[in-house]
Amino acid sequence: MTFETFSTGSSILHRLDVRTKLLAALLLIGVLAVSTSFPAAAGGLATGAALVLGAGLDRQAVIKRLLLVNGFVLFLWITLPLSYPGTPLFSFGPVPLSREGILLALLITIKTNGAVLIMVALIATSTVSDLGHGLSRLKIPDVFCMLLLFSYRYLSVIHQEYQRLQRAARLRCFQARTSIHTYRTYGYLFGMTLVKSHHRAERVRKAMVLRGFDGRFYSLNTSTIGSRDIGFAAVAIVLTATMLVLEWRFA
Amino acid sequence: MSAHPIIELQGLTFAYESGNTPVLDHIDLVQCERQRTGLIGPNGCGKTTLFHCMMGLLTPQSGTIHFKGSRVTEKSDFTMLRRDIGMLFQDADDQLFSPTVIEDVAFGPLNLGAGPESARTTAQQTLDKLGLRHLENRVTHHLSGGEKKLVSLATILAMKPGTLFLDEPTNNLDPGTRERLIDIITGLDLGYMIISHDYDFLAATCTDLAGMERGTIVPVEKSALHTHHHIHPHGTHPHEHHDH
């Protein structure tokens, strides 16, 4: 499992303080998410594309990420033109395809891709650890920051534990079939993984307590907001304002 | 005993559920400053439970724990004890939870009140001392098993303890890392108590030996460290040693 495909690099986006990037992403994606006009959505998509280019990320990896997301968008293209009320554009046999449905699906596609590109350029260019500490320094409650950091740290451990159990089952000639035996076995596998994770969490907590943990997280990260961050924040605000103006003019 | 006792147990009894057979049954034990004790015994005899009781992770039903002469009962007493005694868990994945090595090693010093800069320096010095400085910015869960074990030892040592409790430190280590661990541990200027089934490891690192059986401490001949029956992992025949 890989989470940090895009986090290594030396572009200006990689070197920005994580707080600047989080706030910029919040602004841009927030406006993009509520926009209803094509020019505003297209502005968001262009912003995302420009940021990804600016971050100098591996093109193929970005395209792969987009394909994954558009797999879900495909379902909208299948359902919306058929179900959304409006003027039929043309008929697919006896079934009419509505013009409004197609436009809506198109708008959602543009917005989704724009948002994903912005996320990739601004959020995925930080390591999970920096994100956790950045969120904490933005006064997000520690519980949420810890949830993020611990999920990241232990997801692969729990995944490995599950795989170990699964391998053990397979080595004893277990084959998944449509049978009660299969369902029961998977029930045991999931249940055992859950129990093991719980015990793991207990042990991790104990190990932390022994090293003086009292519920508060102290960070080694002392990075500060510099002129680079202020410059980027200004650009992000101008871009957001442009999208707002486009939305106001065309909506 | 010549030195000052660090931890002293009297009649320590613990059961996971009251009414069940106790896992620890009236344990009396003294660990002195700079004493190097090996603790051996079959699986499930209560060795790890004993460590957890002494560190205050489990609360015994009866018996007393004294730390440097004064009785420990309250949470705050154990906080003091934990500043002085560092415990290494069996599974390094339980110990290393931070995304990067340096953050994990600095975690203890930060909790003890060090600022970010001094915690980083302490962590770097500790890694240097163990020859692990090159791992500083590595992601903890991408380390090899041996690296994980040595880094988790570093996370304990960064808190500058006076005594160590090591729970089966050689489990699943390759011979090279095992040797390195022996060098590191014997080179430390502190006392420790080591749980292990690895006789050779205990012979190389410890000067005293205690045994455990079904929740009680049983005497073990000190000479057992040197004259013992063992099976070489790569040999074909079990044989006896009488080398001392």
| Domains assigned to chain B | 5-221 (3.40.50.300)
- Structural domains counted in chain A: 2
Give dist(CA A47, CA A241) in Å, integer: 12
Show Cβ contacts of residue A19 under 8 Å, excluding neighbours closer than 6 positions. Answer: A134, A137, A138, A225, A229
Share of chain B above pLDDT 70, in %: 90
Structure tokens at B238: 């079990």
Least confident of A208-222, B3-17, B31-45: A208-222
The long-range contacts involving B201-209, CB below 8 angstroms and separated by at least 24 positions, are B201/B169, B201/B170, B202/B38, B202/B40, B203/B228, B205/B36, B205/B38, B206/B36, B206/B37, B206/B38, B207/B35, B207/B36, B207/B37, B208/B35, B208/B36, B208/B37, B208/B38, B209/B37, B209/B38, B209/B39, B209/B40
B97·A207 Cβ contact <8 A: yes
- B196 to A152, B42, B189: CA distances (angstroms): 32, 10, 21
pTM tops 0.90: no
Tens digit of pLDDT for each residue in A130-145?
888 889 888 888 888 8
Report the side by side order of strands in the sheet with B216-219: B85-88, B163-167, B191-195, B36-40, B208-213, B216-219
Tens digit of pLDDT for each residue in A171-200?
777 888 888 888 988 888 888 888 888 888
pLDDT over threshold 90, residue B184 = yes
Q: What is the mean pLDDT of residues B108-119?
A: 89
Instruction: List b or e across B84-94, with b for residues whose CB sees 16 or more CB atoms inside 10 angstroms.
Output: ebbbbbbbbbb
Least confident of A33-37, A82-86, A134-138: A82-86
**B35 touching A (Cβ < 8 Å):** no
Same domain? For A121 and A142 the reply is no
Q: Which residues of A touch B108 (CB under 8 A)?
A: 211-212
Same domain? For A40 and A143 the reply is no
Does residue A221 lie within any of the structural domains? no
DSSP A178: S
Q: Which domain holds residue A188?
A: 134-210
Does residue A92 lie within any of the structural domains? yes
Q: Which residues 187-206 on chain A approach chain B with CB closer than 8 angstroms? A: 200, 203-204, 206
Give dist(CA A39, CA B14) in Å, integer: 71
Q: What is the mean pLDDT of chain B?
A: 87
B111·A207 Cβ contact <8 A: no
pLDDT of residue B192: 95
pLDDT over threshold 60, residue B234 = no
Q: Which residues of B touch A157 (CB under 8 A)?
A: 93, 141
Among A156, A204, A220, the residue with its CB nearest the CB of B116 is: A220
Least confident of A5-9, B87-91, B230-234: B230-234
- A124 to A52, A57, B196: CA distances (angstroms): 10, 10, 44
Rounded to the nearest angstrom, the minimum Cα separation between A189 and chain B is: 21
pLDDT over threshold 60, residue A71 = yes
Does residue A218 lie within any of the structural domains? no
Same domain? For A44 and A110 the reply is yes
pLDDT of residue B225: 64
Phi, psi of B12 (to 5 degrees): -70, 120
Split at pLDDT 50, 70, 90, the class of A34 is very high
Q: What is the mean pLDDT of residues B11-36?
A: 90
Q: What is the mean pLDDT of residues B107-120?
A: 90
pLDDT over threshold 90, residue B1 = no
Least confident of A86-95, A183-192, B22-31: A86-95
pLDDT of residue B226: 60
pLDDT over threshold 80, residue B121 = yes
Split at pLDDT 50, 70, 90, the class of A1 is very low
pLDDT of residue B223: 65
Show Cβ contacts of residue B193 under 8 Å, excluding neighbours closer than 6 positions. Answer: B31, B35, B37, B38, B39, B51, B163, B164, B165, B166
pLDDT over threshold 90, residue B18 = no
Give dist(CA B28, CA B35) in Å, integer: 16
Tell me if residue A98 falls in helix, strand or coil. strand
Q: What is the mean pLDDT of residues A97-113?
A: 92
Same domain? For A189 and A88 the reply is no
Same domain? For A163 and A86 the reply is no
Same domain? For A18 and A109 the reply is yes
Among B97, B106, B111, the residue with its CB nearest the CB of A220 is: B106
Structure tokens at A4: 């940090």
Contact A38, A250 (CB under 8 A): yes
